[in-house]
Structure 1
Amino acid sequence: MKKRRILARVICLILAALMLASVMYVIVGQDSAGAVSQSEIDNLKNKKEQIDRKRTEIRAQINSYEYEQKSLLAKKQVLDTQMDLTEEEIDNITEQIQLYTELIAVKEVEVEEAQKREDEQLRLFKERLRIMEEGGSISYLAVVFQASSFSDLLARLDFIEQISKYDEYLYEQLKAAKQATIEAKEALEVAKAQQEEQKVQLEAKRVELEQQVEEASRLIKAVDQNIAEAKALYEQESKAAQDIQSDINKKVAELKRQQEQSGKAVVGTGKLVWPTPSCYIVTSQFGRRFHPIYKEYRMHYGIDIGAKYGAAIVASDDGTVITSTYSSSYGHYIVISHGNGMTTLYAHLSSRLVKAGDKVTQGKTIGKCGSTGASTGPHLHYEVSVNGSRVNPLQYFSGYTIK
C-alpha cells in the first residue's frame, strides 16, 4: 500500500514537471515568435524549392500522361473508323448473300421448268416414233407404197427425216438451256459461298476490333484517372508553394523592418536604375503567360530582359543583400532590400558576386547574366516587390524596348 502511494506521488511529480515544461515552452515560443532570421527565411525557401521541384516532376508526368492520352484517343479513333468500315462491309456482304440466295432460288425454279420442258419434248418425240412405228396415221411402209414416183418417195423420206431432226434439235436445245441454267446456278452458289467466307472473316475481324476498342477505352479511362489525380496533386503542391511564398514575403518584410529598426538596413534612393546596362530589350512582360517550360498558363511576376550570357547585372538601388542562393526555378538569384518595403530580385544568373548581408550601392555589379534554373536561354528575370507584393517593374523605367 505504501509503495502504491509513493508511485502515485512520483507520477504526479512527473506530470507536474511536464506541464511546467509545456508552459515554459509556450512562453519562450511566444517571446521569440517576433524575431525573424535570414536562416529561417532560407529554410522556407529551401522548402519551397523542394515543392517546386516536385511540382516540376508532377507537371512532367501530367505532360506524359496527356501525350499518352492523345495517342490513345488517336488510336481509338482509327479503330472506331475501322470498326465502322467493317460493319459497312458486313452489311454489304449480307445484302450480296441475300441477293445470291434469291437469284439461286430463281435459277432452281428455272432448272425445274427446263427439266419439265425437256422431259415433255422427249415424251412427245417418243410418242411420235411409237405411233409411226405401230402403223398409226403415218408409217414408213405407207410412205413407201403410197409414193407416186421415185422422186415423191425421196421427198416423203426427206420430210420424215426433217421432222426427226427437228425433234432432235428441239430436244438438244432444251438440254443446252437446262445445262446453262444449272451452270449459272452453280456459279451463283460459288459466289455466295465466297461471300459467306468473307463475311466470316469480317466478323472475326470485327470481334478483334471490338476487343482492341475495349482495351483502348480502358487505357484511356486509366490515363484520365491518372491525369485527374496528378492535377489534383499539382494543385495541392501549388497551394502549398503559394502559402510558403506568402510566409516568405511576410518574414522578409519583418526582417527588413527589424534591420531598419536596428539601423543595419541600407535605405535606397527610391529611384531605380535599369539592371542590365548592356541591354534594354524586354522579351517577356509582367502578367499571365504560357510558360515555355511548364507548358501551362501561369502568372509571370517580373520581366525578362534579353541580355547576353555573361553581361553585367547591377543593383537597381542602394540596399542590403538579403538572399544570394540557388533554386531549381530561379537558378542563381539575388534579392536586395532597398528599405521602405521595396526589394528587387535578379534571377537565372550564371554567377553571383555578392552574398547575404552585403551592402550594395546603386549600379554596383552583383552578378552575371546566365540561363540557370527553369530557363530556355540567357536572360535576366527581374522582379520588384513593394511591401511583399510583386508589382510591374516597367512602371519604374523608361527607354526600354518590348520585343
Structure 2
Amino acid sequence: MRNNYFKKIQLLPLALALSLCFTTVPNLAAEKEKQSINNSKQKIDENKAKIDTLESEQKKVNEKIKDLEALKSDTAAYIKALDQNMAEVTNELITINNYITQKQLDIEFTQDQLAKATQSESDQYASMKLRIKFMYEKGDTNFIDMILNAKSWSDLLNKAEYISRITKYDRDKLAEYESTRQLVSDTQTQLQAENAQLLDLQNQEVAKQQSLQALLDQKNQELAAYKEKISNAQSEIASQQSKIDDLYEDISAQEANIEAMEREIERQEEEARKKAEEEARRKAEAEGRDPDSAKSDYKSRTMTGGFTWPVPSSGRISSGYGDRESPTEGASSNHKGIDIAAPSGSNVIASAAGTVVIATYSASAGNYVMISHGSGTYTVYMHMSSLNVSEGDEVSQGESIGSVGSTGYSTGPHLHFGIRKNGSYVNPENYL
C-alpha cells in the first residue's frame, strides 16, 4: 500500500503538468459551434470583399470608357485607345496570375509543414501517455524506495543522479510537446492568412477578367455600330468609305513596309558579301596571290531547322490560310496566314531563331512583329496586346516575343501568324 502511495506522489508532477496542457482544450461541442459561427462570419466577410473588389474594378473600367467618349467620333482613335486600355488590363491580369501561382505554392508548402507538425504533436502525445502508464505500472522503480534502499553514500548519490536525469527528461519532453503545440497553432494561423491572400488575388483576377471583357464588348459594339452605319445608310457610305480606305491604305502600307524591309535586308546582305569579296581580293593582292582565286569567308544567315507552334497554350485555328469570308468590314478576304484563337495575355513565342526587323503598331495589324530567319524566310505575328522585343533584337526559337491580344482590326483575342518565303506568303500549316 505504501508503494502505491509513493507511486501516486511520483506521478503527480507529470500528471499535473499534462492537465495544465489540456485545460486549454475547450468542450468539443462548444468548440464545433464556435467554429461553425466563425466559418459563417468568414464566408460573409469573403463575399463582402469579393463584391467590393468587383464594384471597385467595375467603377474603374466605366471611368475609362467614359474618358474615351470624346474619341467616339474617330473610330480608329477610339479603337486604338481601347486597345491600349486592354493591353494595360491584360498585363495586370498576367501579374495577378503569377502572384496566384506563387501563393498556391506557398500554401502547399505551409500545408505540408502543418501536416508534419500535427503528426509530431500526435506522436509526442502518444509517447507521453505511454510514459505515464509505464511509471504507474512499474512499481519497482519507485523513487523514494530507491533512495531508502541505498546501501552507501555512493549508491545514494548515483540513485539521486538517476532520479534527477529522469525528472529532467520528463520536463524536457513536456517542454518539447508544448513547443510543438505552439508551432501547430502558429502554422494554422499562417495558413489562414495565406488562404485569405489567395482569395483576395482570385477576386482581383475575376474583376480584371470582367474589365477585359467589358472593354472588348465596348470595342465590338463600336465595330458593329461602325459596320451598321455603312450597311444601313447609303448617305453614310461616302463619309465612312474614307475610313475604310484609310484602313486599306494602312494594310497596303504595312505590306509595303514588310516588302521594303525584305529588300533592305537583301541589299545589306549583298553589300556585305561584295565588301567581303573585295577585302579578300585586296588581301590576296597584298600577299602576292592571284586576286581572282581569292575566296570570301562571308556567309549570309541561313535558315536552319523547322518552325515551332507560336502559341504554346492553344492549338485551335479559328481562320485558315487563303480565301475566306471577311470576318468584319475592312478585313482581308484573302487571308495571308492563320488565326490562332487564345485567351488575352497568352504567351507568343518566336517560331524560329532570327532577327527582329519590325516591332511596331499598325491600325490594321495592331501590335505586330516580323522576324528574319535567313534564306529569304520571315515570320509575321499580328494583333498582340503587348510586345516583348524591339527592332534589331536577336531571338532564339521558343523565346517570348509578346502576348495574345485583339489590337488593330480584330474582333476577338487571337494571333495572326504568317510565313513569307522569297517575297511571298505561304501556308503556315505546311511548315509547322
TM-score w.r.t. the length of structure 1 is 0.41
Larger radius of gyration: 1
TM-score, length of structure 2 as denominator length: 0.38
